[in-house]
Structure 1
Amino acid sequence: MNIILHDNGLHLRFAPLTLTRPVGDLRVGILTNKERWERWIPEAVVSFQTEQYISKKFPRVSGEFEIEVNAVIIPNEALAATILHLEDNQILMSEDTWIARRGTASEKIKWTEKHPLELKQRWDLFRLNDEVLVADYLLLTGGRKSQHISVSNTVIGDPSLIFIEAGASVEGSFLNTTSGPIYIGKEAEVMEGSMIRGPFSLGEHAVVKMGAKIYGATTVGPYCKVGGEVSNCIFQAYSNKGHDGFLGNSLVGEWCNFGADSNTSNLKNNYSMIRSWSYEEGREVETSLQFMGVCMGDHSKCAINTMFNTATVVGVSCNVFGGEFPKKFIPSFSWGAVNGTELFDLKKAKEAANSMMSRRGLELAEGDIYIFDYLSKYGG
């Protein structure tokens, strides 16, 4: 079986995160939708139908038995069981939203249960993270036994809602599960003095630095390092916010770095509803939210003491520095973004990316280089 996660034309709606990855590869909760489908249907090969330039890195894998799935739908057990029984040329619909289809999709099948969780806007990632993280926790830990919780920790709430994977280390920390579970991935580390309120997820090989203050619902993806004060944020993977400073209601891509004591505003001074840059509309749009921090695309960095305005959007491969607030929208490959913005030379941008990746024994792959070249030429 081949499951194809279809972007459904929403590539720019979730940008800048989806300037470098398909919609179905966005992390929300503990997992990406690709990882969820692989767990619900282990025999399936899961791939993507996405923008042509992104498909160089994330190709579609075709086969005789294909089911296309709407990439913005968060799957669950009932959905997985239903799509397995879709016949040729059938499409599963919930209200006006298509969920899955085979062939020409000429015959409509109605989903009669509660409408599944659906990502409709970029900010739904952190807005729905609480609910999705709890569901992922149950999916990953059901019927399994956690590592022993060290007596050096102080647990507030139900200790059975803490799951520590093999090889992980949690010592001398405060773990509070009264608002949701806490999941610690393989080989991850929570350093002493950390204070964590669930729901919270720490990916494999990720680190919470000493004395961190983390509020739910927060997801720290694989190989990230996080310190300071963090509230309702999602880090995709391989990104660092290792020092003091506040980050709230924010979305961080891969290979990003926050300089020491960088801070993000997530609430306007007059408490009004927030407007934020939309790549899809090419302008700021109303969000109907009162809290929103920064959204930072892959390979972007900011210097020490950087101050981000409420709802700042940073593109791919930006280097943000200066003594004042940066602009609220920083296009990809920006150098500076405070008292005037220059273009980050493409060759130097690739060198900077490889320098950071080499510390983890990695480098830009052919697909990554193609994405960099495309975005530098056509904008982002």
Structure 2
Amino acid sequence: MQLVFSDAQYWEDFLPLTFTRPVAEMRCGILTFSERWQKILDNTEVSYFTEAYLQNKFAEPEKKESLFLVTNFLPTENVIRQIKDLKRGEALVYEDELVAANINMDGFSLHQIEKMTDIKEKLVFFKKPADLFSYNKEAIDFDFELLTHGKTSQELSSTNGLLGNKEDLFIEEGAQIEFSTLNTRTGKIYIGKNAEVMEGCHLRGPIALCEESKFNLGAKIYGATTVGPYSKVGGEISNVIIFGYSNKGHDGFVGNSVIGEWCNLGADTNSSNLKNNYGHVKLWSYRTKAFEDTGLQFAGLIMGDHSKTAINTQLNTGTVIGVASNIFKEGFPPNLIENFSWGGFKDDERFKLDKAYEVAEKVMARRKVALTDVDKAIFKYIFDTY
């Protein structure tokens, strides 16, 4: 059966992270939501019900019987069983929101649903960007079991120090770790295929270092942290999610943050995650067009894809950065930095679209990934619309 991953009502709530992707393609834990559900349901026939300008890159559903699924939650074993057992015209509802349905996408309509069943269990549900880092420990635990069950970890080299249970450390094939310390007493640690932990690193779980990514010399990593594939991280980070293909290669602190793909934080970039008055942090909401109270004392940076900071950049607590922005001016930039900002401050000129293409092509080529015409069309839509 075709899996249809739906953005439902959540796409706008996750901006700027979803300007360039459906909700299902965000990463939290070890996997993206899409990867997680494909593995749970043992099904790779995937399509997306998302914004029209993203559909050329993320395939539209075929008009046939489908499992329609909102992806941004962690299911229990009982909920997984309920989803697998759905019959045609049946749906599951959580807190008055539809999360799964067996329907035909030919003439898609919720009127097809004849029976709705409420999920009574409490679920970990991600509804806004700050939820990604707030519940990352739960996501890492979930994915660790999903990915490592029945598998054998590579042995940890004797040059390293392990504090905690060996069973809470998993090292995939080809990964390298030397002369570092790993603490699994505070959470599980997953080291992906061909990843590298360079000498002198200190890892305090829960941590996921995904495929082909690196912790640079002497990095200090506090959980719950996820570094997506093909990324490099140095300095100090705490409770950070990096979607993938991004670099924070040098000293500087980032905490309680989410960073998209193809981003680069210049040397000694620092992002505050705590206000001087210890009050709740507010983050910009693209839906309400206002700064909203997160209810969190710790919240740092939300950064859209392809954005960059210069060396020695200082970011305020609760900063939101759009897509393809360049922050390089002296002083603290504002808490909201627009898409394609050239400088980072309000009323700065915009990064020219052709130049944005040019930089993206160079950055992506370093990872042997091409910037396609479809990618350029997404850039242009964001540039013209937002």
TM interval, shorter chain, is: over 0.9
Question: CA shift at 1:95, angstroms?
Answer: 3.4
Q: Which of 341, 352, 357 is 1:345 aligned to?
A: 352
Q: Which of 325, 329, 339 is 1:332 aligned to?
A: 339
1:297-339 CA distance string (max 9 Å, x none): 0000000000000010000000110110011101100000248
Distance 1:179 1:217 in 2: 9
1:115-165 CA distance string (max 9 Å, x none): 222112211000000111111111111111000100000111112211000
Distance 2:260 2:32 in 1: 13
The equivalent residue for 2:168 is 161
1:76-101 CA distance string (max 9 Å, x none): 44333221221111111233232201
Q: Which of 105, 108, 114 is 2:116 aligned to?
A: 108
Distance 2:70 2:345 in 1: 39
| One-letter identity of the residue aligned with 2:85 | H
Which consecutive residues of structure 2, in runs of 5 or more, have no partner in the other structure?
A: 104-111
The equivalent residue for 1:291 is 298
TM-score by length of 2: 0.95
Distance 2:117 2:87 in 1: 10
The equivalent residue for 2:178 is 171
Contact 2:337 2:345 in 1 (8 A): no
Distance 2:346 2:320 in 1: 17
- Secondary structure of 2:250's match? coil
**Count of aligned pairs:** 378
| One-letter identity of the residue aligned with 1:15 | L
The equivalent residue for 2:367 is 360
The equivalent residue for 1:53 is 53
Distance 2:373 2:141 in 1: 36
Question: CA shift at 1:367, angstroms?
Answer: 2.3
Contact 1:322 1:339 in 2 (8 A): no
1:219-249 CA distance string (max 9 Å, x none): 0000010000000000001000000000000
Contact 1:321 1:336 in 2 (8 A): yes
The equivalent residue for 1:323 is 330
Matches within 5 A, 1:24-173: 24-62=24-62, 64-103=64-103, 104-112=112-120, 114-173=121-180
The equivalent residue for 2:106 is none
Distance 1:193 1:75 in 2: 37
| One-letter identity of the residue aligned with 2:373 | E
| One-letter identity of the residue aligned with 1:257 | N
| One-letter identity of the residue aligned with 1:192 | E
Distance 2:21 2:200 in 1: 35
Distance 1:152 1:63 in 2: 56
Distance 2:95 2:260 in 1: 32
Contact 2:37 2:71 in 1 (8 A): no
Which consecutive residues of structure 1, in runs of 5 or more, have no partner in the other structure?
A: none
Question: CA shift at 1:37, angstroms?
Answer: 1.2
Question: CA shift at 1:195, angstroms?
Answer: 0.2
Distance 1:129 1:7 in 2: 20
Distance 2:76 2:379 in 1: 34
Q: Which 10-residue stretch deviates more, 274-283 or 232-241? A: 274-283
Distance 1:250 1:206 in 2: 18
The equivalent residue for 2:314 is 307
Question: CA shift at 1:340, angstroms?
Answer: 5.1
| One-letter identity of the residue aligned with 1:368 | D
- Secondary structure of 1:179's match? coil
Distance 1:11 1:65 in 2: 24
Contact 1:323 1:338 in 2 (8 A): no
Distance 1:331 1:95 in 2: 33
Contact 1:202 1:219 in 2 (8 A): yes
The equivalent residue for 2:23 is 23
| One-letter identity of the residue aligned with 2:6 | H
2:278 is the alignment partner of 1:275: no
- Secondary structure of 2:260's match? strand
- Secondary structure of 1:211's match? coil
The equivalent residue for 2:201 is 194
